[in-house]
Amino acid sequence: MKNKKLVMIPGPTPTIRSINDQMGRETVAFGDPEFVKDYKELIIDLKEMFKVDGECFVVAGTGTMAMEMAISNVTKRGDNVLIVSNGFFGDRFIDLCERKGLNVDVLSAPWGEVVSPETIESKLKEKNYAAMTVTHVDTSTGACAPIEEIGKIIKNYPDTIYIVDGVAATAGEREYVDDMGIDILFTASQKAFGVAPGLALLWAGQKALSRRKSLGTIPEFYIDFEKWIPIMNDPSKYFATPAVNMVWALKESVRVINEEGIEARYDRHIRVSKAIQSALESLGFKILAKEGNRGTTLSNVLYPEGINDAEFRKIMAEEGAMVAGGLAAYAGKLFRLGHMGNIDDHTVYSVIAVIERTLIKLGYKYEKGIGLKTLLENM
């Protein structure tokens, strides 16, 4: 009999039964009054949850589309943009911005570290930037940027739109748009919300909305704020077809989050991530992200000497857990373990047990049971 396979990659994350049930409902017309009501309530709840006096956009698309949506609505060709990159997905903004004719400056941190607020402030003093992007948690490194501290700095630069990529963070790491000085926050449904892929979510504060209005007509069509604002304010109107069942699934996810409590959810992610990382270190692994810079939503785990990446992940899958490989220079050197969203303690214990069984099958010498023992002591 095959083991049930746990999805422990950095996204898509596991979906719980009540969310799956919403995706499996009989689809209705997007103008159905009950659906319109659900869509409207979802948007209101998301505005309140992430504390924005502005707009929340919930549209069919991906996290990468949300990146483009963020940039396209607040910049024009020839503008200066500062990209603060802590890894592979921070760098993705470079190509995106250059294709739009933007002048790009990049602040990069060594993988596993983050760019300091002091370094960012020093760069902001050099010229006028129309926008600055920061990836909250980069899934290539597991490093977590200090977005609140950066938000305090950006208040001194009123012409710069502060864009936070929350794809691997939102609903797992603390993020409050207006309170933290963020102008645009975006994410996608398949990460810490624990929904299947298919929805892009973006919050825009008043500063970002004012910038959009000042630009007039922009080249983009589908991702134009001005096309979607009337629909977000009144979902009975039509611009493009909403992903009906995905909206229902996200609404159920928000209900689950509110039932747990958003602050309790953040605290749970901290507790679980620290326990998992301690357990992994007790087994001889190392965490790529430096202590103090580690995200709570995933761990990038460096192999001890003698462990082959492909073989490790193959046996992990056979034993019942899927993990992701490393990216770029760290391909073959680490695996990426997601622990965000709606995973429960049973799943956490199971994945550490799978790792221990995998190490035994590989003939790796370690103190058997030490990972689970460490997890027990820290959970």
pLDDT in tens, 21-46: 999 999 999 999 999 999 999 999 99
Strand 321-322 and strand 286-287: pairing?
Answer: unpaired
- Whole-number pLDDT of residue 306: 93
Local confidence band at 217 (pLDDT 50, 70, 90 cut-offs): very high
- Whole-number pLDDT of residue 300: 98
Q: What is the mean pLDDT of residues 274-280?
A: 98
E-assigned strands of 100-257? 103-108, 131-135, 161-165, 184-188, 199-205
In the chain, which residues fall in CATH 3.40.640.10? 17-259
Place of tokens 């004719």: 101
At 118-150, the pLDDT tens digits run 999 999 999 999 999 999 999 999 999 999 999
Residue 6 has pLDDT above 80, yes or no: yes
Rounded CA separation 69/184 (Å): 10
17-259 folds as: Aspartate Aminotransferase; domain 2 (3.40.640)
At 54-98, the pLDDT tens digits run 999 999 999 999 999 999 999 999 999 999 999 999 999 999 999
Cβ burial 220-231 (10 Å sphere, 16+ → b, else e): eeebbbeebbeb
Q: What is the mean pLDDT of residues 321-349?
A: 96
Give which of 130, 105, 131 is closest to 119, Cα–Cα.
105
Average pLDDT, the chain: 97
- Whole-number pLDDT of residue 9: 96
Question: At 256, phi and psi to the nearest 5?
Answer: -60, -45
Q: What is the mean pLDDT of residues 340-355?
A: 96
Rounded CA separation 349/366 (Å): 18
Residue 338 has pLDDT above 80, yes or no: yes
Local confidence band at 3 (pLDDT 50, 70, 90 cut-offs): confident
In the chain, which residues fall in CATH 3.90.1150.10? 6-13+261-378
Structure tokens at 268: 């749970």
Q: 3-state DSSP helix/strand/coil percent for the chain, to nearest 5?
A: 40, 15, 40
At 234-243, the pLDDT tens digits run 999 999 999 9
Strand 184-188 and strand 131-135: pairing?
Answer: unpaired
Local confidence band at 349 (pLDDT 50, 70, 90 cut-offs): very high
Q: What is the mean pLDDT of residues 253-257?
A: 98
- Whole-number pLDDT of residue 31: 96
pTM of the model: 0.97
pLDDT above 90 coverage of the chain, percent = 98
- Whole-number pLDDT of residue 5: 86
Local confidence band at 223 (pLDDT 50, 70, 90 cut-offs): very high
In DSSP notation, 166-198 reads -TTTBTTB---TTTTT-SEEEEETTSTT---S-
CATH for 6-13+261-378, among 1.10.10.10, 2.10.10.90, 3.30.70.360, 3.90.1150.10? 3.90.1150.10
- Whole-number pLDDT of residue 305: 93
Q: What is the mean pLDDT of residues 171-195?
A: 98
Contacts of 362 (CB under 8 A, 6+ apart): 307, 308, 311, 312, 315
Task: Name the helix (H) or strand (E) containing 311.
Answer: helix 309-319
| β-strand partners of 103 | 80
Cβ proximity of 27 and 245 under 8 Å = yes
Rounded CA separation 15/169 (Å): 17
Neighbour tally for 153: CB within 10 Å: 17
Neighbouring C-alpha atoms within 13 Å toward the C-beta of 93 = 31
| Torsion sign over Cα 186, 188, 194, 198 | positive
pLDDT above 70 coverage of the chain, percent = 100
